[in-house]
Amino acid sequence: MKSHGIWVIFICFLLGATCVVQEELEVAPMEKRELEALYSTIQGFAGNWWNGSDLYPDPCGWTPIQGISCDLFNGFWYVTSLNIGPIHENSISCSQKSEFRPQLFEFKHLQSLSFFNCFVSRDQNPVTIPTGNWEKLSGSLESLEFRSNPGLIGKIPTSFGLLNNLKSLVLLGNGLTGEIPPDIGNLMKLKRLVLAGNSCSGQIPDIFSKLSELLILDLSGNSLSGSLPLSLGSLTSLLKLDVRSNNLEGNLLNGFGNLKNLTLMDLRNNRFQGGLVLSIQEMYSLEELALSNNPIGGSFSVLKWENLQNLVILELSNMGLTGEIPESITELRRLRFLGLRDNHLTGNLNPKLESLPCLNALYLSGNNLTGDLKFSKQFYGKMGSRFGAWDNPNLCYPVGEISTSQVPFGVRPCHQEV
């Protein structure tokens, strides 16, 4: 048949004629059970009105479903990615009575599963994540995500710990409660663990000693309490650590010094105390360090800040820090943002801060700084409203050296007559 088709095309070319040769395309079939599982699973989320066999008779071929990806295994199409929610205009949207059906766990080669803005009503249709059957997806599933589902309530299933091929677990902005299951510590291939924006409580379990490949850990915006687990110091590959806006307490970890690859550490809005630990000065890759709104206390000068040459953002406001601003801060050539508001800092402001080439925000209000401000007109012009030094009673600016439009808000003029 193939040689006959070639001969026909050759004759048409010689005759200069326009020929249309139609050959029957080979279409890879889809296993009946896989196809039925796909239709039933989507119908559970979209509603009974959704008739897949009529709308999408060939979902991996000429009638693709938005949000569904397939791949060939042994000559058959199988679903490899299933995305539920209004990501695109014609994506699968969830009904007000969305439900998980058992057919979800029958996909043999499912690698990625995500739900975005699907379970939206905690009052009208609260939904819990199924606790069982996740082990059926353990051979293939690499990414599992639930994003922006306020109607998704209940606890994080302990059976997630059976998904031993999982590389990404994202449970972001849902209504989940309860403690973080220690079983997550069994996911040795995990690279991203995001549980932010829920209502999880209890202590952070000490489960990180096996997660040597973890790159991102985000537990922010929950109600977690207790101290940081010691095993956090074993995450030597970690790039991002974010536990802000919880109820965590205790001292900062000496094991922070092991996190040589960390670029962001955000511990804001907790109850940490005990002063700055020396291990922070060993985190040479840090670009963003945010510790504000913690009663940490202690001296600001205890660290060798010049070691952190990659720092871009340093936010240490409302921490009860004492002492003077160390001159080593003026060696951080990449620093753009320095926040030191509402501490107990004393002494004069070092004019070398002006020499930092990238600095464009400096907030020093609410301290006990003294003396004259010795910055240039160009500095005030560059900073504008991003320079804050009010509420330092003994700090003043020299009269006549800067224009009235550049006078720093809330700072009195020097040698003011009574």
Interval 1-54: pLDDT, tens: 333 333 333 334 433 444 433 333 445 799 999 999 999 999 999 999 999 999
Q: Residue 19: what pLDDT?
A: 42
Average pLDDT over residues 391-402: 90
At residue 359, the pLDDT reads: 98
Residue 404's pLDDT is what? 84
Separation between Cα atoms, residue 387 and residue 363, nearest integer Å: 6
Q: How far is residue 327's CA from residue 125's CA, in Å, rounded to a whole number? A: 58
Residue type, 231: S
Q: Mean pLDDT score of the chain, rounded to an integer?
A: 92
Rounded distance, CA 158 to CA 180, Å?
A: 9
Structure confidence at residue 61 as a pLDDT band (50, 70, 90): very high
Q: 407 in helix, strand or coil?
A: coil
pLDDT of residue 88: 78
Residue 91 pLDDT greater than 80, yes or no: yes
d(CA 308, CA 298): 19
181-200 pLDDT per residue, tens: 999 999 999 999 999 999 99
Give me the pLDDT at residue 328, please. 97
Q: Is the pLDDT of residue 371 over 60?
A: yes
State the amino acid at position 149 in one-letter form: N
Structure-token match 């921490």, residue found: 319
Q: What digits encode the pLDDT tens for the residues 199-236?
A: 999 999 999 999 999 999 999 999 999 999 999 999 99
Task: Determine what percent of the chain is predicted with pLDDT higher than 70.
Answer: 93
- 85 SS3 class: coil
What pLDDT sits at residue 27? 56
In total, the chain counts a number of residues equal to 418
Q: Convert the pLDDT of each residue in 263-282 to its tens digit.
A: 999 999 999 999 999 999 99
Which pLDDT value is given to residue 4?
37
> By the 8 A CB rule, do 99 and 44 touch?
yes
Which residue do the tokens 């205890």 mark? 302
CA dihedral of 303, 306, 312, 313, whole degrees rounded to 10: 20
Amino acid at site 276: L
**Separation between Cα atoms, residue 50 and residue 54, nearest integer Å:** 9
Bridge partners, residue 112, by sequence = 81, 143
Residue 118: is it exposed, middle or buried by C-beta count within 10 angstroms (0-12/13-18/19+)?
Answer: buried
Residue 137 makes CB contacts below 8 A (sequence gap 6+) with 105, 107, 110, 113, 163
**Structure confidence by residue, pLDDT tens digits, 319-366:** 999 999 999 999 999 999 999 999 999 999 999 999 999 999 999 999
Query: Looking at residue 416, what is its pLDDT?
Result: 55
Q: Which residue has the higher pLDDT, 415 or 238?
A: 238
Q: Which residue has the tokens 């550049």?
A: 406
Model pLDDT for residues 99-138, shown as the tens digit of each residue: 999 999 999 999 999 999 999 988 888 999 999 999 999 9
Mean per-residue pLDDT, 375-391: 94
Best CA proximity match to 155, nearest among 201, 93, 97, 188: 201
How confident is the model at residue 400, as a pLDDT?
Answer: 79
Question: Is-contact 255 270, C-beta < 8 A?
Answer: no
CB 320 within 8 A of CB 297: yes
Q: What global pTM score does this model have?
A: 0.91
By C-alpha distance, which of 189, 43, 218, 52 is closest to 111?
189
Task: Look up residue 379 and give its amino acid.
Answer: F
Neighbours of 394 (CB within 10 A): 11
Residue 250: CB partners within 8 Å, gap ≥ 6?
226, 227, 228, 272, 273, 274
Q: Which of 134, 176, 129 is nearest to 159 (CA)?
A: 134
- DSSP secondary structure string, 134-193? GGGGTTT--EEEEEEETTEESBPPGGGGG-TT--EEEEEEE--EEPPPGGGGG-TT--EE
Say how many C-beta atoms besides its own lie within 10 A of residue 63's C-beta: 11
